[in-house]
Amino acid sequence: MAKHEGYLSAKESRRISKENRRITNELEKKRKRKNVPEEEYTTRMHNENNAVEFDNLHTYFYTDAGTVKSVDGVTFDVPIGKTVGVVGESGCGKSVTSLSLMQLLQRPQGQVVEGEIRLNLGDGKAYDIAKIPAEKMQKLRGNYISMIFQEPMTSLNPVFRIGQQVDEVIALHEGEGKTKDEIKARTIEMLKTVGIANSEGVYAMYPHELSGGMRQRVMIAMALACNPRIIIADEPTTALDVTIQAQILDLLRNLKDRINSSIMLITHDLGVIAETADYVVVMYAGRVVEKGTVEEIFAHPAHPYTIGLMASKPVVGKQVDKLYSIPGKVPNPIDMPNYCYFKDRCEMCVEGCDGAYPCEVSLSPTHKVSCYRYYDKKGAE
């Protein structure tokens, strides 16, 4: 950044663009290689019971204003058959983490620059998504990992009928040897599974003829059509009213159990997390500040940011004049401080908070927190 905050001279901007082009061209060239030997991206899971392991993931965006460190060293696991809730305020890197797993980052500026994303393929085999070439990734998307996006209207194509769109997904991933009628029958079965009553009628409808809840169900049908091992649900119910929200979450949970897959559920709604998740990951400014089981995080929140989040949610039956809000704002992702990222907003600072970014401290085998307040109690790892 230039000396005057928020101001970049034309010369400086040109220099950054040139440097960005150099870095991203190099990374893109590597990613687009053909016939890459499998050993280059084959790895081993650290724990075979995990479906995905994010390990020190760094995802940056090379913009003309500078490098945005959207995900800056994220480590957490998604165990097989479990739901992991990822929470944190807007812009903390939740979506970028999941898009890194899908390899759907806006390229060339968005790039995974460091770390591993291990995807469990079973039989002791795993791929590192951070290194996998683009052509190989296409086969994993849909079959192993699928994503349900926040806004179904922008994800469904308005000019094609619902049936055509679900048929296309099924034909692409499991259509080999199937006739058109068999694919249609599978689509109608999927629409029924996600609770659409008039599934044959809906098959012939356009997206604008459905309600928001129905569109979200269609998105879920598409995401689950090929029995993926991991389902990423990025704010799947934010645009829906609470009764439909509860139905959709129930549906996701039931379908997940039926095909024994895992869910990575991204939301800013702590109520949704409490109801749906087994584990919780709390992110702040591109880092994981706390993680643990849902009971640990809700009964014993440890990081001042998590404590603030809990205090700022409304509680039924508890009367308050004004809901608590965490003071201050998130640091600029282009110019992160070299101390705890939450320090400028923290109301619980202790001696040592001026030091380097705090390491992770284990409060239990599953509960970890990055904060100086716990250094004496357990010792940093």
Told to check if 70 binds ligand ATP by CB under 6 A, we report yes
Q: Which amino acid is at 38?
A: E
Q: Which amino acid is at 356?
A: A
Written in H, E and C, the secondary structure of the chain is CCCCCCCCCHHHHHHHHHHHHHHHHHHHHHHCCCCCCHHHCEECCCCCCEEEEEEEEEEEEEECCEEEEEEEEEEEEEECCCEEEEECCCCCCHHHHHHHHHCCCCCCCEEEEEEEEEEEEECCEEEECCCCCHHHHHHHECCCEEEECCCHHHHCCCCCCHHHHHHHHHHHHHCCCCCHHHHHHHHHHHHHHCCCCCHHHHHCCCHHHCCHHHHHHHHHHHHHCCCCCEEEEECCCCCCCHHHHHHHHHHHHHHHHHHCCEEEEECCCHHHHHHHCCEEEEEECCEEEEEEEHHHHHHCCCCHHHHHHHHCCCCCCCCCCCCCCCCCCCCCCCCCCCCCCCHHHCCCCCCCCCCCCCCCEECCCCCEECCHHHHHHHCEC
User: Of the two residues 65 and 349, which places its CB atom closer to ligand SF4 in the complex?
Assistant: 349
Told to check if 63 binds ligand ATP by CB under 6 A, we report yes
Which of Mg ion, ligand SF4, ligand ATP, none does residue 333 bind to, with CB < 5 to 8 Å depending on kind?
Answer: ligand ATP
**Contact string (CB under 6 A) for ligand SF4, positions 289-318, x = contact:** --------------xx--------------
User: Of the two residues 147 and 281, which places its CB atom closer to ligand SF4 in the complex?
Assistant: 281
From the CB of 284, what's the least distance to ligand ATP, in Å? 10
From the CB of 335, what's the least distance to ligand ATP, in Å? 12
> Judged by CB under 6 A, which stretch of 4-12, 62-70, 198-206, 360-368 contacts ligand ATP?
62-70
The binding site for Mg ion (CB under 5 A) comprises: 95
- Candidates 171, 353, 360, 366: give the one binding ligand SF4 (CB under 6 A): 353
Residue pair 161/204 in contact by the 8 Å Cβ criterion: yes
Which of ligand ATP, Mg ion, ligand SF4, none does residue 120 bind to, with CB < 5 to 8 Å depending on kind?
Answer: none
> Judged by CB under 6 A, which stretch of 87-95, 226-234, 256-264, 339-347 contacts ligand SF4?
339-347
**Contact string (CB under 6 A) for ligand SF4, positions 221-240, x = contact:** --------------------
From the CB of 57, what's the least distance to ligand SF4, in Å? 21
User: Of the two residues 20 and 370, which places its CB atom closer to ligand SF4 in the complex?
Assistant: 370
User: Of the two residues 80 and 86, which places its CB atom closer to ligand ATP in the complex?
Assistant: 86
User: Of the two residues 310 and 336, which places its CB atom closer to ligand ATP in the complex?
Assistant: 336
Cα 317 off chain centre by: 33
Beta bridge partners of 282: 87, 290
> Judged by CB under 6 A, which stretch of 37-45, 139-147, 182-190, 336-344 contacts ligand SF4?
336-344
Q: State the Cα–Cα distance between residues 26 and 294, nearest whole angstrom.
A: 41
From the CB of 301, what's the least distance to ligand SF4, in Å? 12
- Which residues within the stretch 71-130 sit at the binding site for ligand ATP (CB under 6 A)? 88, 90-96, 106, 109-110
> Judged by CB under 6 A, which stretch of 31-39, 96-104, 194-202, 348-356 contacts ligand SF4?
348-356
Q: Which two tokens stand for residue 169?
A: 């997904």
Told to check if 288 binds ligand ATP by CB under 6 A, we report no
Strands 42-43 and 125-128: antiparallel
Judged by the rule CB under 6 A, the positions of this chain that interact with ligand ATP are: 61, 63, 68, 70, 88, 90-96, 106, 109-110, 268, 333
Judged by the rule CB under 6 A, the positions of this chain that interact with ligand SF4 are: 303-304, 340, 342-343, 346, 348-350, 353, 358, 371-373
